[in-house]
Structure 1
Amino acid sequence: MNIGERIKELRTAKKLTQAELAAKVGLTYIQVGRYETQKSAPSSDVLQKLAQALDTTTDFLMMGSHDEAVAAQLTDKELLRLFKLVEQLSPEDKHLVKTFIDAFLTKRQIQELAK
């Protein structure tokens, strides 16, 4: 699957027309159609806006499967499994998990600096 097919798949899954997606991103529906048919490629700025409007990442739009992209970067399978479970949580719970992780990592950095 290419970037255009992923954009179209996500757009239709969200029940958006090309015009509706274009309005969210600040484009014309013609340009969205060009991206979907691979007649044009989005700039990095537009790619970021598309990812945000489609509730995904630029990595997914460019490379494909979230699992493939994440698995390529994460070698700890247990950690990958936990992150998959976290993705299923409510937005509030996800935010809480991110806050905990950030606090833990910040504490570790401070401990390392204090050595």
Structure 2
Amino acid sequence: MQKIATTLGTTVDYLISGGNEEQITDKELLQQFKEVQLLDKEDKHLVKTFIDAFLTKRKVQKLAQ
């Protein structure tokens, strides 16, 4: 099942549930997230903190417009 999902560029969950989960369509971003999953706990936390900071900055910028 995993080989089929990989070949189709999706997940086993997606194949089973029929699309009840959100999918990341940006292949480069998906690969980056896969690599982040391999990091240790502290590095993962750091990446999440950077993402949160960036998203918060964007939200604040939109509010300021």
Same fold by TM-score greater than 0.5: yes
Residue 110 (structure 1) aligned with residue 32 (structure 2): no
Partners of 2:24 and 2:36 lie apart in 1 by 15
Aligned to 1:87: 37
Q: Distance in 1 between matches of 2:63 and 2:23?
A: 27
In structure 2, the partner of 1:78 is 28
TM-score by length of 1: 0.39
Q: Distance in 2 between matches of 1:82 and 1:114?
A: 31
- 1:75 maps to a residue whose letter is T
Matched AA of 2:51? I
Moved over 4 A (4+): none
Measure, in 1, the Cα distance between the counterparts of 2:23 and 2:53.
Answer: 22
Structure 1 vs Structure 2: percent identity of aligned residues?
A: 65
Structure 2: which 5+ residue stretches go unaligned? 2-9, 15-21
Q: How many residues align?
A: 49
Q: CA deviation at 1:97?
A: 0.1
1:35-46 to structure 2, matched below 5 A, reads none
Q: What is the one-letter code of the residue matched to 1:96?
A: L
Q: Which amino acid aligns with 2:60?
A: I
Q: Secondary structure at the match of 1:73?
A: coil
